[in-house]
Structure 1
Amino acid sequence: MMDMKRGRATRTNLRGGSAILLAVLAADAVFAQAVEEPVAVDTAPETALQGDAGGEAIVITGSRIPRPDVESNSPVNVIGEEEIQLTAANETEQILNSMPQFVAGFGSQSNNPGNGTATVNLRNLGTVRTLVLMNGRRIVGSGEDGVVDINMIPPALISRVDVVTGGASAVYGSDAMAGVVNFIMKDDFEGMEIGGSAGVSSRGDSARYNIDLTVGGNFADGRGNVVFYANYFDRAQTRGAARDHATLFLVDAVQNGQGVLVPGGNAVTPQGTIFSPSLVGLTDPFGNVIGPQGIFFAEEGWRAYRTSDGFNDRPFNNLQLPLERIQAAVLGHYEVTDDITFFWEGTYARTRVNSTLGALPMSSSGFIPGFQLDLRNPYLPDTLRDFLSVNLDADGNNLVPLNINRRVLESGPRTSDQTRDFWRAVVGLRGGLTDQLNWEVFFNHGENDLTDEQGGGVLIDNFAAMFLTDPNDPFSCANGDPDCVVINPFGRDALTQEMVDYYNVDLVNHTRVRQTQVGGTISGSLFSLPAGDVGIAVGAEYRKESARFQPDQLYVLGEAISRSAGLQPTGGSYDVTEVFGELYVPILADRPGFELLAFEGGIRFSDYSTAGSVLSYKLGGEYSPFRGLKFRGLYQRAVRAPNITELYSGATNTAPLATDFCNATPTRTAAERAFCLELGVPAALIDVFQQENVQIRAVTGGNPDLFEETSDTWSVGAVVRPDFIPNLQFTVDYYNIKITDAIALFGGGLQPTINACRGNLSLDNPFCVPLQTRTPDGQLQDVPLRNQNIAEITASGIDFRLDYRHGIGRYGELSYFIAGAYLFENETTSSPVLNPIDCAGFIGGGSCGSANPKWRFSQRLTWEFDAYQISLRHRFVGSARDGRIAAAISTGSAPPLLAVPRTPDVHYFDLSANVRVNDRFRFYGTVDNLFDRDPPFQLYERQTYDAIGRRFTVGFTANF
């Protein structure tokens, strides 16, 4: 009750704070105009190729040659400091999520899948193909795959974010196939700033609390500056039960020729089921025919399983993962001489995250080979004992072979309490080589340690032992262990605490990741031509990556199961030595029809200890016929060497959505029926066979024989800044990315492997071989899928952005931007024997992942008036169709009959306001998802669509 009162009080206070702030801003209309920098627009002069002797030149991501962002030949989107401030983000992922070039990665709403990290995924080409940098240098990954957890980047210290949406391997190396996200940090601060904020949803939950402290100052007569930063952030847990849209478990069905949604759930239930092929077709006490799902232990007694008996695990999953984070950072520089500056960056973060899944679904066929049910179990209903004895116990030994499925709800949910310690240190020197050339050398080292404590697990041998009864004492186990008690799996809430204590176990996994990078660069203007300065950047780098994952020994030995099963250690390392160079040559300038004509090129040679020597390069240029209009284009060859997970990972269990073609449906052919018998479906079940769950367990693992991926990226675009409309800027770019030899799971994943087998029903077809991994009752389980260079990915589309600001006299200033994207193609060919699947405009369905609508944009209108600012942001996510339709289009088959074949267009509106009370104090408030838009029902994933609803935030910053 106290928690409920506290939630209501918090919600009331935050709502009140937001309302008061907006009322104050609306009431005051008599102050003088205040002019601030535009949102995310860099208007640096075109002549700024060289920097000062300290190396302070403007370098925008996409090239190491100092140039203004809008003049870059790579399409670069810049998220400026004002946009970051208006977002009021305490989580770095929030800064990026509204950008249309990003498709959802892991984040605060990712629970399954999800691991507590926040990741970025450009162009839906995968998080492993998006390179994340801090001040142009790498950040150690959160796991063996090298993917960066952007929760480790202090939001309050971010000056701007540069996003290059295209291959950039020639500039920054491996991992930059989809693009680069470069966080530029504040490194020159004087004084002390304290900031705090609190947020809550309109339902009084999903709270967020944040406090920042920044202290900085100059020393040594201004030759140096040091900045200290500390942060505490806490994010509360929100479970699916808190939202109506997250509590229903509905499945597709066809009734009277129409697609409908019917109640469903996971077939492994807390009541438990038992199954044997010999039971199919028999009749239960209620006159129902027993089907392939077997016997269900209902309140009214044991009977045949029905689809509506499925377990709804949705309310138990997290909608918002709880997170606690402490961070600290120190950044600074010191001018050793007039020409040499020493600089350093140090960051530390400790995060604690808890993710929750429904209670463990135990299946004897998957984990207890040769399982037999002891009919002497004292909890077995007498009528069922007699029924099983007559039909299954031919030898009269009271042990009958069958499969028992039981979700051990009494053990509680499967939890994952993760503690992650991250630190990174950079030291370096930079200076002026000549008046036009700068140099820099640096050393960068980072480490990430993760301890994952998993609860809700089961000791497999103990669980199995509880089913065998001591003939002399039916409540004691046959193994003689005094702690072992015979289990009662027949019905919901039937397990006592004594039973749970015997089989329950917690497991602990450890991950350690290390990264070391050493590099040096010379950049600036080499010499001058009549058309301008020739820009150059050359350098060399050495990098070593190492990682080790050590699962709990009970996982390794196959003696326990929790969120995974049969995990094996992963360990490995690789290093790479690289040299690179870039050149920018202005050819013509200031001539009729040639305001500027220039060429740009770059090349990088990389020698990997694993993949060998690879070459990446770029060629492009720009043409401006007159001032205010520029055309730009670039071709880039990018490469990505396999990471440690892809090379060396041990066996890992996953549970993807997939449909077995052996299911006895009207569309199953006679050839498929016959082949399914070869694959291991029992003859007694072949005409009634149905898979138990929509998710099928697969086993993934590394492959040390992998080689590099290769991509070709084309981009052409235009930049418009007309003189006759001051403060207007428009950019538009077309891109086309094609990745060959892409690393993917065998066959491209479980469903594509099933599809590839279906196209050639033969055990000589390599895609059919893994589908022989089945339980005795024919269920696909632990299908082996190792990594291969087997896929091809193509993405193409158009990005556009318009920025404009305009003074409105004594009423202040308006600024506006719209950033959008239109997706032509996002096509994946999972294996050479399959047709490509184009997921542009689709979501989920086993073939397409995160929502990938054709249209997506974000726009913001901001009014600034003296010390006041009000801003409204509109985020648009276009309609997306079910991915099962994309799969049908790929094969030329009829699309499935679905009750919800597509999502609607989704609009989110966010309101923010700032008031600067004086030079030292600022107060702000935000209302995200202003109109409380629910996610589209049935078809959604939680990072693209808001699962929480309307949220209020109030905060302040104070400077001293």
Structure 2
Amino acid sequence: MERNRALARLKTLQGGSAILLAALAAHPAFAQSADESVAAETAIASGGEEESIVITGSRIPRPDVVSNSPVNVIGEEEIRLTAANETEQILNSMPQFVAGFGSQSNNPGNGTATVNLRNLGTVRTLVLMNGRRVVGSGEDGVVDINLIPPALISRVDVVTGGASAVYGSDAMAGVVNFVMKDDFEGLEIGAQAGISSRGDAARYNFDLTVGGNFADGRGNIVFYANYFDRAQVFASARDHASLFLVDAVQNGVGVLVPGGNAVTPQGTIFSPSLVGRRDQFGNVIGTQGIFFAPEGWRAYRTSDGFNDRPYNNLQLPLERIQGAVLGRFDVAEDVTLFWEGTYARSRVNSTLGALPMSSSGFIPGFQLDLRNPYLPASLRDFLSTNLDPDGNGLVPLNINRRVLESGPRTSDQTRDFWRAVVGLRGGLTDRLNWEVFFNHGENDLTDEQGGGVLIDRFAAMFLTDPTDPTRCANRDPQCVVINPFGLNTLTPEMVAYYNVDLVNQTRVRQTQIGGTITGSLFTLPAGDVGISIGAEYRRESARFQPDQLYVLGDAISRSAGLQPTGGSYNVKEVFGEIYVPILANRPGVELLAFEGGVRYSDYSTAGSVVSYKMGGEYSPFRGLKFRGLYQRAVRAPNITELYSGATNTAPLATDFCNATPTRTAAERAFCLELGVPASIIDVFQQENVQIRAITGGNPDLQEETSDTWSVGAVIRPDFVPNLQITVDYYNIKISDAIAVFGGGLQPTINACRANLSLSNPFCAPLRTRTPDGQLQDVPLLNQNIAEITASGIDFRLDYRHNIGRYGSLAYFLAGAYLFENETTSSPVLNPIDCAGYIGGGSCGSANPHWRFTQRLTWSIDDYELSLRHRFIGSAKDGRIAAAISTGSAPPLLAVPSTPDIHYFDLSVSVRVSERFRFYGTIDNLFDRDPPFQLFERQTYDAIGRRFTVGFTANF
């Protein structure tokens, strides 16, 4: 079956590559040129004298532009044709990337744009600028790539696979290196505007670059400024993002039915003592309690759930200003001073639906005052009869109310980022060069959150003065007795009393000092022996200071009970690489060479660790090269993983204590031990699909380690000039991976279910329950507990062809096939292989087996027309993968998988004059919607067809 599916995907790939035939059909008469669009990794070298260059993946300069590490390059031509001013849009189109946070990431999301190679996590992808580190956007050290000046990017080198021996910690999945332009002369102005076919999702961008030489050409300096504005789009603007449908089984068939969040704007009340009783209409009251419907109070129905999706952002609004200065100056005959300075300020707004307030979660010992003047008289009598045996007018129950009248929960983030690099480089001998540098970066974030609730005030509004039920019992003149019984019943005076805004602050600092000596030691008969040795010192520090009301537990908004995070660490490192050509220019051996490297790191937290690499290349004849590497990579725990304070999250999870037909007698008995009341054990259902958990740091964490194998080939046939093909197999295994306890809430629940015993460490956290049995604040702190394995094949083809007076054609195809993406969340759980799956609480972002991007560009005189095709293969619901891992029957789902997704993007460019170029793009040309029900917003296009026009002018 899997073989048939693979063959079907291969046919899709072949069909999607039909435009390649047009590029190859004509006579191959176009002479070689050093055009970066031709090669997969940087350029197909032109004839003539070779110049040593540095390719990401090794620090050793080499005349051969093809690295032994699998490197994929996004060149300046592709960046220009994409016309994107959000860097993650460029990267996410490449098949090696799985979507991180970006412009469509609202929940989860934090306003940043991040990189996630191989779906191994953003913390395991190292981001560099000109080969040096960039300060992170938060305590986890993950870089916001939208703070890198887009118009100054010359190319992006993507190394897939562990690279810690060369670049240090965090490079377990690979490295993304932004190589910036230098030696710019003149003045360039660029501007563009974009909008969707529905008239929203506007984008505006303005760039100014000016530079030139000075001191008789001994120096060059470049100044850059940018303004970018992106408009807000709510999910209500698209049907696919605003519907709330849930899975159900009807007549043995999976179907989608209207659903919603059980915490509604109308409000519900619940007590175990009410389960099984009948409302005023004769309906049986279940575990969701009583709902305040327009027709009056009655038993809650599934269809009463609140659809909060239209209130979320579909596109986050962003306003960004940037500035940069880059330059160099020859201070002596063979000594050059260089510098890089960048600054960016960004403002992002994220919006969530109104706060779901629950007394069981935030108001311990809550009792409803039956004297409340807004309480329906019939319900007062009902509650008094059933819940108030002592007649004091106070009844213990839980009230859930989404405070829609308060407005949405907003997060207005202002981020200030700056980075400065200064260094010297020069020649040590005619074979060796040296470089020293100082790199310092800072990132400050102010997060102003609206739509919050002061918990004590909210609780006080429920207690009335026994002598005057229209007044609060606390006699605060500002306090107003609340009316939570129904839709839009909270008055502005009520909202004003409990409403609060909160402010969180984050500060991140990074300092890196380093030096290298690179070049060749001597020449062997087969060529130069290349080396690179160096040393680095790095210090990372970060502090997160939540609003004091969060710390004290007095308020709730987008989070609850946040605690400060603060800490620092430093690392001292020495490293070295060597490249040894063994044989060359022999029969059957064009080149045989060895490559090795080692890095020793001493962390103030994790202690001493060693990473290394070894491999080489073999070319039997010109035009064919085989390459392979084994790499041991390490990642030290970051500040969040080590020191983060306890933080509330609300993951999707299902409690096995739910009274379902599949719950066993043993599970029923054990749930009584866990704290589910006996009075409702046979009707117990969790109140919400999201369950509150507490995550936090662990200062005793150790480093992660990974082993990466890669083997591949590079083909440059002489009989087809300007053609390059690369194919690489990779296998990555990460051990002692840092993850939340048990791998998350659902895996912890599953691990407990496998061994129902209070001595099972995975059962102990599940005892944190409310008096009515609901799981709440389950503690899940970080541990070195997981194992991750990923394997697959990357392939790329680049070709350029001259078609005479009709101009030229350029084509590339970059693709990937994923064999395995397996995670073992804890030692007691079976691994889950998410290759070919998406979501479902286990698999996260889409992991289709097949992904590829191809582009065909036709250039003639001053005109250019380009068509890009992005393919995302089908992916099954991750709940099916979870069922396979446990050997259980797969769930009956109405939408068990996504279809194959094809996006086409068109761009056109006209050079009006020598100094002026006009261009336009249409992204998602055929307005393809994302797959319904199964999609996450960064992998798939949630906005639809978009138009962009712009110009560049040079003076």
1:735 lines up with 2:733 in the alignment: no
- CA distance in structure 2 between the partners assigned to 1:95 and 1:69 by the alignment: 26
1:861 aligned residue: 856
1:813-892 mapped onto 2 (5 Å cutoff): 813-892=808-887
What's the CA shift string for 1:16-37, capped at 9, x where partnerless? xxxxxxxxxxxxxxxx999993
- CA distance in structure 1 between the partners assigned to 2:68 and 2:621 by the alignment: 17
1:505 aligned residue: 500
1:487 lines up with 2:482 in the alignment: yes
1:790 lines up with 2:788 in the alignment: no
Using the TM superposition, name which of 213-222 and 775-784 deviates more: 775-784
1:584 aligned residue: 579
Q: Say whether the 8 Å CA contact 1:535–1:584 is kept in structure 2.
A: yes
1:560 lines up with 2:568 in the alignment: no
1:664 aligned residue: 659
Q: Say whether the 8 Å CA contact 2:35–2:43 is kept in structure 1.
A: no
Q: For residue 695 of structure 1, give the secondary structure of its aligned residue in structure 2.
A: coil
1:465 lines up with 2:460 in the alignment: yes
Shift of 1:781: 1.2
1:186 lines up with 2:184 in the alignment: no
Q: For residue 902 of structure 1, give the secondary structure of its aligned residue in structure 2.
A: coil
Give the letter for the 1:787 counterpart. Answer: N
Shift of 1:933: 0.3
Q: Say whether the 8 Å CA contact 1:43–1:68 is kept in structure 2.
A: no
- CA distance in structure 2 between the partners assigned to 1:190 and 1:322 by the alignment: 34
1:43 lines up with 2:38 in the alignment: no
1:923 lines up with 2:918 in the alignment: yes
- CA distance in structure 1 between the partners assigned to 2:242 and 2:643 by the alignment: 39
What's the CA shift string for 1:118-140, capped at 9, x where partnerless? 00000000000000000000000
1:360 lines up with 2:355 in the alignment: yes
- CA distance in structure 2 between the partners assigned to 1:780 and 1:917 by the alignment: 66
Quick one: which of 237, 259, 263 aligns to 1:264?
259
What's the CA shift string for 1:698-756, capped at 9, x where partnerless? 11000000000000000000000000011110000000000000000000001100100
1:404 aligned residue: 399
Q: Say whether the 8 Å CA contact 2:797–2:813 is kept in structure 1.
A: yes
- CA distance in structure 2 between the partners assigned to 1:101 and 1:35 by the alignment: 28
1:133 aligned residue: 128
2:24 aligned residue: none
Taking a change above 3 Å as real, the CA distance of residues 793 and 35 of structure 1, as seen in their structure-2 partners, is closer
- CA distance in structure 1 between the partners assigned to 2:839 and 2:226 by the alignment: 37
Give the letter for the 2:612 counterpart. Answer: Y
Q: Say whether the 8 Å CA contact 2:34–2:44 is kept in structure 1.
A: no
Q: For residue 689 of structure 1, give the secondary structure of its aligned residue in structure 2.
A: coil
Quick one: which of 796, 800, 816 aligns to 1:801?
796
Q: For residue 336 of structure 1, give the secondary structure of its aligned residue in structure 2.
A: strand
After TM superposition, the score normalised by the length of structure 2 is 0.96
- CA distance in structure 1 between the partners assigned to 2:585 and 2:44 by the alignment: 19
Shift of 1:68: 5.8
After TM superposition, the score normalised by the length of structure 1 is 0.95
1:445 lines up with 2:440 in the alignment: yes
Q: For residue 302 of structure 1, give the secondary structure of its aligned residue in structure 2.
A: strand
1:103 lines up with 2:101 in the alignment: no
- CA distance in structure 1 between the partners assigned to 2:249 and 2:64 by the alignment: 54
Shift of 1:43: 3.5
Taking a change above 3 Å as real, the CA distance of residues 868 and 166 of structure 1, as seen in their structure-2 partners, is same
1:693-712 mapped onto 2 (5 Å cutoff): 693-712=688-707
Q: For residue 71 of structure 1, give the secondary structure of its aligned residue in structure 2.
A: coil
2:930 aligned residue: 935
- CA distance in structure 2 between the partners assigned to 1:375 and 1:48 by the alignment: 91
Q: Say whether the 8 Å CA contact 1:34–1:865 is kept in structure 2.
A: no
- CA distance in structure 2 between the partners assigned to 1:698 and 1:68 by the alignment: 54
1:71-110 mapped onto 2 (5 Å cutoff): 71-110=66-105
- CA distance in structure 2 between the partners assigned to 1:208 and 1:697 by the alignment: 37
- CA distance in structure 1 between the partners assigned to 2:122 and 2:48 by the alignment: 34
Q: Say whether the 8 Å CA contact 1:49–1:66 is kept in structure 2.
A: no
Taking a change above 3 Å as real, the CA distance of residues 48 and 123 of structure 1, as seen in their structure-2 partners, is farther
Count of residue pairs the alignment pairs up: 924
Shift of 1:615: 0.2
What's the CA shift string for 1:141-161, capped at 9, x where partnerless? 000000000011010000000
Q: Say whether the 8 Å CA contact 2:38–2:800 is kept in structure 1.
A: no
Quick one: which of 537, 545, 550 aligns to 2:545?
550
- CA distance in structure 2 between the partners assigned to 1:747 and 1:49 by the alignment: 58
Q: Say whether the 8 Å CA contact 2:221–2:326 is kept in structure 1.
A: yes
Q: Say whether the 8 Å CA contact 1:46–1:68 is kept in structure 2.
A: no
- Structure 2 portions without partners, runs of 5+: 1-29
Q: Say whether the 8 Å CA contact 1:103–1:851 is kept in structure 2.
A: yes
Q: Say whether the 8 Å CA contact 1:227–1:330 is kept in structure 2.
A: yes
1:214 lines up with 2:209 in the alignment: yes
1:381 lines up with 2:376 in the alignment: yes
1:24 aligned residue: none
- CA distance in structure 2 between the partners assigned to 1:681 and 1:798 by the alignment: 49
Taking a change above 3 Å as real, the CA distance of residues 278 and 245 of structure 1, as seen in their structure-2 partners, is same
1:628 lines up with 2:626 in the alignment: no
Alignment root-mean-square deviation, CA:
1.4
1:300-449 mapped onto 2 (5 Å cutoff): 300-449=295-444
What's the CA shift string for 1:25-79, capped at 9, x where partnerless? xxxxxxx99999352623365999996xxxxx52111000113675211000011
Quick one: which of 155, 171, 186 aligns to 2:150?
155
Q: Say whether the 8 Å CA contact 1:836–1:890 is kept in structure 2.
A: yes
- CA distance in structure 1 between the partners assigned to 2:199 and 2:34 by the alignment: 35
Q: For residue 386 of structure 2, give the secondary structure of its aligned residue in structure 1.
A: helix
Give the letter for the 2:584 counterpart. Answer: A
Quick one: which of 756, 762, 779 aligns to 1:767?
762
1:518 aligned residue: 513
Taking a change above 3 Å as real, the CA distance of residues 146 and 654 of structure 1, as seen in their structure-2 partners, is same
Q: Say whether the 8 Å CA contact 2:38–2:722 is kept in structure 1.
A: no
1:173 lines up with 2:171 in the alignment: no
1:25 aligned residue: none
- CA distance in structure 2 between the partners assigned to 1:143 and 1:552 by the alignment: 16
Q: Say whether the 8 Å CA contact 2:126–2:170 is kept in structure 1.
A: yes
Give the letter for the 2:127 counterpart. Answer: V
Q: For residue 939 of structure 1, give the secondary structure of its aligned residue in structure 2.
A: coil
Q: Say whether the 8 Å CA contact 1:540–1:578 is kept in structure 2.
A: yes
Q: Say whether the 8 Å CA contact 2:908–2:921 is kept in structure 1.
A: yes
1:227 aligned residue: 222
What's the CA shift string for 1:231-269, capped at 9, x where partnerless? 000000000000011111000111111111111000000
- CA distance in structure 1 between the partners assigned to 2:913 and 2:47 by the alignment: 37
1:124 aligned residue: 119
- Structure 1 portions without partners, runs of 5+: 1-31, 52-56
Shift of 1:444: 0.1
